[in-house]
Amino acid sequence: MRVVVAEDLYLLRDGMVRLIEAYGHEVVATATTGTGTLDALRTWRPDVSVVDVRMPPTQSDEGLRAVLAARRELPGLPVLILSQHVEQLYARELLADGAGGIGYFLKESVFDADQFIDALERVAGGGTALDPAVIAKLLSRGSSSRRLDRLTERERAVLGLMAEGLSNQAVAQRLFLSESAISKHTTSIFGKLGITDDDNTNRRVLAVLTYLNNP
């Protein structure tokens, strides 16, 4: 994979670069500001990027704004957000464009190198990788969606784990069910959410976005 790393803290940025390269991927550019991040994403159009939310000069949300701008120009550009906080408003905006290839992890949750690289590769492949804490925060309002009300408690549990980016096999292991049972649940979820089989879309991503956006 060709990766852009945007992080203003030297030690963290250097650590991520070394880790990504140790797993056989190429870091094509790094950035330390919001403006630099947008320039790097436009120039390199990476397979995936890792972007910190808060970057210079104001240390507010320059990194996330750069990602939103880049994805408006390059729809579906895969991005894994790393942040110390859940930026709820912008996270919803990021997820609302309907394109896959999105991840959002809190820095404190990423302790394992394999976990980090697995999330990065899933996002690069057009999937999602969301921190459970981010999901909980995003769902803290408006949980009475009519479409989501159609789901059973078990289906909601399956969909929540799908939002974390887990495969059917991993969801089955987490819920102590068979993989075929999870497959039946996902088929039911797609049907109840009105998500049809289409070669041009990823039904898992659309289901997750419906879950998070709670329309």
Mean pLDDT within 53-61:
85
51: left (phi over 0), alpha (psi -120 to 50) or beta: beta
Quick check: pTM over 0.85?
Answer: no
Domains of the chain: 2-138 (3.40.50.2300), 151-213 (1.10.10.10)
How many CB atoms are closer than 10 A to CB 193? 21
Reply yes or no on whether the pLDDT at 119 is more than 60. Answer: yes
The model's pLDDT over 18-49, given as tens digits with 9 standing for 90+, comes to: 999 999 999 999 999 999 999 999 999 999 99
Tell me, what DSSP letter sits at residue 109? G
The candidate with the shortest Cα–Cα distance to 138, out of 89, 97, 101, is 89
